[in-house]
Chains A and B, each alone.
Chain A
Amino acid sequence: MGKSVKEILIDGNGYACIQCGRCTGSCPSGRECSLRTRKLIHMARMGMDVIKTEELWDCTTCFTCQERCPKEVKTTDMIIELRNLAVEEGYFPTMSDVPKIIIKSLYDTGAGQPLSPEVSKIRAIIGLKKEAYDVSTNAETLKKFQRLLDGLEITKKGGLR
């Protein structure tokens, strides 16, 4: 169902890239680590294993490179699509379990960042309801939400089924 690298390049205008490197020069993450956006685009075009590179996961999706690209290459959109393809092919980032924890929390409570007892207390002290009104307030609504997620790929990819 996902796109191939070639389709990602076509949709993201990747073949227009002139390898000028403005993306890499603008990248706040690349200054601190080995992420080189220009190189990722080059690898994708040369048919190299771009989806296996760990640097693919160092991008904060801030969109500065895409904003500044003189050839209107949708660099950030392409990185997001390449990550989707990487996950589909089983190259789930290995550095941390946190993404999977977030997906599980999302399923169980409707919140990526669940409420702790400590914050619940603070909420009451400052005059808010102990728990915010949301998808988990009504048990029936939460069940429906989970039914929606059961039919989506994210629960499979997050290891929930």
Chain B
Amino acid sequence: MEEYAFFPGCIAKNVYPGIEKATRIVFEKLGIGLRDYEYSCCPPPGVLACYDKPSWLVMGARNLSQSEKDGLNPMTVCSGCYGTLHNVWYALKNDPDLMGFVNDHLGRIDAEYKGKVHPIHFVDILKNYKEKIAELKEIDLGLNVAVHYGCHYLKPSSVTGENSERPTLLDELVGLAGCKAVPFKDGLTCCGAGGGVMSGEPDVSLKIINTKLNNMKDANVDAIVNICSFCHMQFDQSQKKLKTTEIPVLHLNQLFGLAFGIRPKHLALHTHLVSTRDLEKKLKDLKKGGE
């Protein structure tokens, strides 16, 4: 069985546990194993990397080292966690001196990172399971959605290898659940949460997300579908503060959970701040129509 080390990240564990739950359900159905490890926070590419980059590297490397003895690559469900772990891996892989510095610190707690396992974003696993996802689908959700990648999954492309200006992966993946990715103005801009701006400059952060949400609203979308727990939190929490839009927010694994026929409550949709009730009603009608 294909297996990964599951790196849930702070937000999916401690703020939106529906993302952790949905991920476990979806991966179990796909027959992909997930193993837990004694992970800490990634730590955040904004706050930690900007305050003390060497500390960020050491803490990131400690996380990467956890599953090395088992040879399992860590899988993230957050583009922020992915940004940290992937950038740390990339920096260490290309710099033996830096690897030495990091391991001098890890040696103090009898740990070591050799660079043999590397982080992977969950969508890069799912893209190899398109047929299986189509087989498992019980409901064509029929939603018009705004997709959101999270900057650090795509950029910098010199490190990620992605097409940062015209990505298409999420259009394809939401299509497997019977949804349509609707184009909207400035579709790829940042959610405004990263770089410590959400915590340090909350007014600026809210202005950035407000512009983005209104662009999504103008496109008449039924939901926002993301692949980043941190952006997910920004989309859900900021709508409660701004009160100008009310677009339900779904992590891609929650969307697949719904398409696989999992009850919304089991995906913790009722705990989101923006109500998902209209969405759930639509799905109920769809189910009835199909019977």
A161 to chain B, nearest CB (A): 13
Q: Are B208 and A60 in contact (CB under 8 A)?
A: yes
Interface residues of A in 66-116 (CB under 8 A from B): 66-67, 76, 80-81, 83-84, 87, 93, 95-96, 98-99, 102-103, 106, 110-116
B51: which of A61, A128, A141, A158 is its contact (CB, 8 Å)? A158
Q: Are B268 and A122 in contact (CB under 8 A)?
A: yes
Q: Are B196 and A126 in contact (CB under 8 A)?
A: no
A148: which of B21, B62, B201 is its contact (CB, 8 Å)? B62
B40: which of A60, A96, A135, A138 is its contact (CB, 8 Å)? A135
Q: Is A63 an interface residue (CB 8 A)?
A: yes
Q: Are A112 and B43 in contact (CB under 8 A)?
A: yes
Most buried by A among B13, B18, B39: B13
A48 to chain B, nearest CB (A): 20
Q: Specify which chain A residues have a CB less than 8 angstroms from the CB of B204 in the assembled complex.
A: 29, 32-33, 58
B residues near A, CB below 8 A?
Answer: 8, 10-11, 13-15, 17-18, 20-21, 24, 36-41, 43-56, 58-59, 62, 105-106, 108-110, 151-152, 155-157, 164-165, 186, 189-190, 192-197, 199-202, 204-205, 207-208, 211, 265-268, 271
Q: Are B51 and A123 in contact (CB under 8 A)?
A: no
A89 to chain B, nearest CB (A): 13
Q: Is A147 an interface residue (CB 8 A)?
A: yes
Answer whether A99 and B51 are a contact pair too, CB < 8 Å, given A62-B194, A132-B20.
Answer: yes
Q: Specify which chain A residues have a CB less than 8 angstroms from the CB of B202 in the assembled complex.
A: 96
Q: Are B51 and A60 in contact (CB under 8 A)?
A: no
Q: Is A46 an interface residue (CB 8 A)?
A: no
Q: Is A15 an interface residue (CB 8 A)?
A: no
B41 nearest in chain A by CB position: A112
Most buried by B among A76, A98, A111, A153: A111
Q: Are A113 and B190 in contact (CB under 8 A)?
A: no
Bound Cα distance from A96 to B46, whole angstroms: 15
Bound Cα distance from A157 to B14, whole angstroms: 25
Q: Are A113 and B10 in contact (CB under 8 A)?
A: yes
A residues near B, CB below 8 A?
Answer: 1, 28-29, 31-33, 57-64, 66-67, 76, 80-81, 83-84, 87, 93, 95-96, 98-99, 102-103, 106, 110-116, 119, 122-123, 126-128, 132-135, 137-138, 141, 144-145, 147-149, 151-154, 157-158
Beyond the given pairs A62-B155, A135-B40, 6 more chain A to chain B contacts, judged by CB atoms under 8 angstroms and listed by A's residue number, are A28-B186, A57-B196, A106-B43, A111-B14, A116-B14, A154-B51
Bound Cα distance from A96 to B203, whole angstroms: 11
Q: Specify which chain B residues have a CB less than 8 angstroms from the CB of A148 in the assembled complex.
A: 58-59, 62, 105-106, 108-109
Bound Cα distance from A31 to B207, whole angstroms: 9
Most buried by B among A103, A119, A132: A132
B143 to chain A, nearest CB (A): 22
Bound Cα distance from A80 to B152, whole angstroms: 14
Bound Cα distance from A69 to B41, whole angstroms: 32
A61 nearest in chain B by CB position: B195
Answer whether A81 and B38 are a contact pair too, CB < 8 Å, given A61-B195, A113-B11.
Answer: no
